Amino acid sequence: MVHRTLLLMRQGKGVKRASGIDARLRDRGKRKAQRMGVWIAQQGWIPDQILAAPTPCAVVSAEKAAKAMGIGVQQMVVNARLDKADMATLLDELTLVPETVHTLMLVGDGVGLEQLIVRLVANGDTVAAGGRKLLKHGSLAVLKWQGAWAELEASAAELVDLIDVRSLPKRFPFPDAQGAELRDRPAYYYRQSSVIPYRRATHGLEVLLMGSSKKHHWGVPKGIHEPGMSAQESAAKEAVEEAGVRGRIDQRLLGVYDYEKWGNCCRVEVFAMEVTELLAEDLWQESHRGRQWVAVETAVGMVKAQQLVPLMRRLAELVAA
């Protein structure tokens, strides 16, 4: 018999609009999802696959938890049938899970998940006695049993754990889920990647600068190194979102620098990117930033992060060579 683990996580609480619809996950809900992701990693229950309901709260809860586990979102599938799904619908979807999946995480609305717990657990009626909610926003139930996903309903699952997210530590271990140091944000926030976009102009090398989100200063694309991606892939993603450019990234590291954020030191790996495509403003996600091509010696006097200055000059030397 194959051992199976089912992680049932209730989506975080959303910010309510005047219409009464939960439009997006609260920041507090994001932190809770990240804490739960760290806890799952600490237990060694990292899922082979994650199924999420299509609501913004469920999707973001699943993404934040997955990244905090260190696995990224590659194993995540958004399933339209899970939107406010009842127990019967959840069971139907679970029976379709590939048998190669040993640990599955399901993120969605609390009502259907609680009904599923009562149905699958041998003493489910006792567990739900008293009318109390089994899963508060962001909390998790862990079920285990032996058998195939297609035979799930006939299985007598064991409720191994019921974790209230409010009981988890507020700070995050570093440098990974088993780390002893505690920080204000998940460990992956402190590992970042960046590109210096450049092109060869008739009068020499130019680099592309884009404005900060509030247009207070100039810089280059930079962001958190997304779990599940290489540093270069993550930096390329930031280049598309922040500067609206695509290009060829040199696989060699141009340089590294540190800066302070979230109460600790962030380390940034910087790569050179020769721009091959400049996206139109309607396709550029953060076009409010603004962008401009400038000569390297002009750029070094404009960027806020002075750690970029020697890296820009090194880029000019490498391209010239």
Least confident of 129-138, 188-197, 249-258, 280-289: 129-138
- Choose among 137, 88, 67, 133: nearest CA to 109: 137
User: Does a structural domain hold residue 171?
Assistant: no
**CA of residue 159 relative to chain centroid, distance:** 28
Task: Find residue 208's DSSP bridge partners.
Answer: 293
Determine which one of 93, 158, 241, 286 is catalytic: 241
Does residue 155 sit in the same domain as residue 29? Answer: yes
**Token pair for 152:** 């799930």
Name residue, tokens 């032996």.
Answer: 146
The pLDDT, as a whole number, for residue 20 is 55
pTM comes to: 0.89
- Pair (123, 243) in one structural domain: no
pLDDT value for 126: 52
Q: Domain count of the chain? A: 2
| pLDDT exceeds cutoff 90 at 155 | no
Question: Which tens digits make up the pLDDT trace of 29-55?
Answer: 999 999 999 999 999 999 999 999 999
Final residue of a structural domain among 116, 135, 166: 166
Residue-level pLDDT at 123: 67
Q: 223 in a domain, yes or no? A: yes
Cα(120)–Cα(153) distance, integer angstroms? 6
Domain limits for position 92: 3-166
Give strand pairing partners of 174. Answer: 181
The angle that helices 87-94 and 110-120 make with each other, rounded to 10 degrees, is 70
Mean pLDDT of 307-320: 94
80: phi then psi, degrees, rounded to nearest 5? -60, -30
Residue at 182 is within a domain: no
Q: What is the CATH number of the domain that holds 308?
A: 3.90.79.10
Q: What is the pLDDT of residues 121-146, one digit of tens each?
A: 976 555 554 455 789 999 999 999 99
Q: What is the pLDDT of residue 127?
A: 55
pLDDT of residue 320: 85
Which is nearest to 68 in space by CA: 140, 116, 143? 140
Residues 158 and 207 in one domain: no
User: Is 191 found in the same domain as 161?
Assistant: no
Q: Are residues 146 and 197 in the same domain?
A: no
Average pLDDT of the chain to the nearest whole number:
92
Same domain, 201 and 264: yes
Same domain, 218 and 143: no
**18 pLDDT tier (thresholds 50, 70, 90):** low
Contact 206, 215 (CB under 8 A): no
Largest interatomic CA distance in the chain: 77
Task: Give me the pLDDT at residue 94, please.
Answer: 93
Asked whether the CA dihedral 298, 299, 305, 307 is positive or negative, the reply is negative
274 catalytically annotated:
no
The percent of residues above 90 in pLDDT, for the chain, comes to 79
